[in-house]
Amino acid sequence: MTVTAEDSDLLRATVRAALGKLSSSADVRRAMASPLGYEEPVWRRLARELGLAGLTLPEELGGSGLTEAELAIAFEEAGASLLCAPLFATAGLAVPLLQALDDEAAIARFGPAIADGELTATVALAEDAGRWQAEMVRCRASRVRSGWVLDGFKNYVVDGASAGLILVIARAGAELGVFAVQGDAPGLERERLVTLDQTRKQARLALAATPAERVGSGDAAAAIARATAVSRALLAAEQAGGAQRCLDMTVEYAKTRIQFGRPIGSFQAVKQRLAEMLVLVESARSAALAAVTAAATDDPELEHVAAVAALTCGEAYTWVTAQTVQLHGGIGFTWEHDAHLYFKRARASAQLLGSASELADLIGRQLEAIVQ
């Protein structure tokens, strides 16, 4: 499907208008305090009416058949509004992995329910070390007469306590495999974690002879690497959207907050800080755009571009949110103001798919490979 600039603008305006009604500050606070971490009627509206869950799924499966570039627009707006919903887990983690595995039967089985909002999904890769690195996976998959069973632990699983489908990365002999586990599978224990970011729930999973269905065939390492790159690109878009919203609210506050008889935005020190925030926000948006474009066009440099975007956007969002708190003065530190929610989302998101040091090391290795 060919998407024009006008189509993209319409998609952005539609998503922004919907989230303005469904993800206000009051909505976010109510949702993050709920056991699920989101409100199911809101999620179904986003999935069914806006088609966000299945935006990149084929039309014949109930999706929209669009690319990651269009999905990134939705992620930007979701980041700006601090949306509490399983959008990142489902459309940002699980769908890219299903597509990278190229298992038509699995996509046909799970795709329609995902697109309809009836099935939420996530990916379980990191374990107790907390690192999103496939080589550190220790969870084991064993063949039994009825299929496969899994044994091990997974940690920091986004929406892991509520997802109806969990794509677990496990070792099957010498290979890495991806295994579909139902949320109510026997032998699966899910523990909700208390984390810094209350707007995005995480869980620790314990699997003991848990029945699973293998998705894809052969070693899934390459598919996991590609899916991780796509997920990083989409998360970068979300971070860029959140950073832009923080800049906007801080600029508006600087225009209206009067100190010593003049708006604080007129002071050179504040101007300088806002200018630095703008530079970082623009850098983040550029890096995210490059990454989602690489994903949409199957660029062979996707993994490298996505890693750069993840590092750039993670650091930019973290710094911008810290300045948002600081420049709002006393009110920025209060529970009633939303600045702390963005700050916590930024700090947690920067660790989800690799810390800054891990990403920097990855980028260094990628550059060495390119030079050689």
pLDDT for 368: 87
pLDDT for 370: 80
Mean pLDDT (whole number) for 108-119:
96
Query: pLDDT over 70 for what percent of the chain?
Result: 99
Mean pLDDT (whole number) for 166-180:
96
Which 3-state string (H, E, C) describes the chain?
Answer: CCCCHHHHHHHHHHHHHHHHHHCCHHHHHHHHCCCCCCCHHHHHHHHHCCCCCCCCCCHHHCCCCCCHHHHHHHHHHHHHCCCCCCHHHHHHHHHHHHHHHCCHHHHHHHHHHHHCCCCCEEEECCCCCCCCCHHHCCCEEEEECCEEEEEEEEEEEECCCCCCEEEEEEEECCEEEEEEEECCCCCEEEEECCCCCCCCCEEEEEEEEEEEEEECCCCCHHHHHHHHHHHHHHHHHHHHHHHHHHHHHHHHHHHHCEECCEEHHHCHHHHHHHHHHHHHHHHHHHHHHHHHHHHHCCCCCHHHHHHHHHHHHHHHHHHHHHHHHHHCHHHHHCCCCCHHHHHHHHHHHHHHCCCHHHHHHHHHHHHHHHHC
pLDDT for 181: 98
Confidence band for 158, pLDDT divided at 50, 70 and 90: very high
Averaged confidence pLDDT in the chain: 95
- Look at residue 264 and tell me whether its pLDDT is greater than 90: no
Mean pLDDT (whole number) for 89-116:
97
pLDDT for 1: 60
pTM: 0.96
Q: For residue range 287-341, what is the model confidence (pLDDT) as tens digits?
A: 999 999 999 999 999 999 999 999 999 999 999 999 999 999 888 889 899 999 9
Mean pLDDT (whole number) for 143-168:
96
Mean pLDDT (whole number) for 113-127:
97
